[in-house]
Amino acid sequence: MHPAIDGPSIAIVTDGKGGVEWGDGEGLDISEGDVFFVGAGTEMKMVAKGEANGQLVIHRAFVEA
């Protein structure tokens, strides 16, 4: 679980496949090359899936409000 951050962030998937879920139960399947926005104050859970030996690499850039 990634804790909530006071400001918005953007995440870039650079390797693997998986899923991301937000605190309200919504989710998204993600894979290498995907970019997604995370709103301020949002906790998220990331899970590796698929053939990449369970590897999921995500880089997250954020701003603290």
Instruction: Give per-residue pLDDT as tens, 5-64.
Output: 999 999 999 999 999 998 778 899 999 999 999 999 999 999 998 775 678 999 999 998
Task: Break the chain into its structural domains and give their ranges.
Answer: 9-62
- Counted residue by residue, the chain has a size of 65
Q: And the tokens for 62?
A: 């954020």
Amino acid letter for position 22 = W
Look up the pTM and report it.
Answer: 0.84
- The torsion defined by the Cα of 52, 47, 30 and 10, in degrees rounded to 10, comes to -120
